[in-house]
Structure 1
């Protein structure tokens, strides 16, 4: 072997499994978005991902567990993208940036899949637990940003952080539902109106 040629590092079994799981989760996300919760099988996930029809069952055990992973994946992608947003003033400005980012991605197929899973969580206990945890994570993120805004002086000190976080999150969840029901629905104008009202409601004078 020539001296200047570096041998390629072989992927470990764990790395190969992680890559396969990521492809399967991506395929399942696409199928949920296109066919809903009950419109496909684990075998279809394997086919779409380019693996055997039995691999999804081997890796995830059940369809509901795979869909739990889909929900976690979609939310993690949102936070990963949000972490790359330009860091401006924390508090009210950061909340506005997060709202705009949420609205921007609301029509993506993966977010559409999440909306279907939120609905299904009403009758699937395992999925409900996952969605509740993700819901609490979102509320906690908004609550923390409101508290930072109060400390820094750009949000009024009499604002209830937990209550206001719930109001914002309820609006964002509603946006997702509208986007799924109507492909022509324009999310941006209503989002900007909400941001304007939010500023008048909680911003320090």
Structure 2
């Protein structure tokens, strides 16, 4: 009987030892499972963030694409139209035409030209006192230095973050449906 009792005590000790080992293994397994669940949650969060960033990037790319199409399709025409109708160009063309007319008139009056070359005074040929050929050439050169208001405005708007939208408003090419809702997607 003593041997049986020793056997029972020994088995109870082994059972306790096995139970402790099983409990430690179960706790270790729970800890690893918890770590895995945390890692999965972090990965899901990263996936959601990246997905959001990707959608935002796609949206910005779509906006940039629409803006580029508008710039190529409409803005060049609208800017050229503004330049063609500008006060600066009209004034320049008037002054150039006037200089060309005066130059032509001077060259067309042989009698006056001869008098001017001979340095004779002819009161009705005052036109020959001015070098109209030089004035005409000067006017032609001025074209290179014309500064158009619309070109200056485009330069300023191009440096702004929402420059294309501002340029659309400045040129009067705003999509009424997209008013206040970001860039219009014209294509």
TM-score range, shorter chain: under 0.3
Higher relative contact order (CA 8 A, sep 6+): 2
Structure with a larger share of its residues in helix: 2
> Which one has the largest radius of gyration?
2
TM-score (norm 2): 0.21
TM-score (norm 1): 0.20
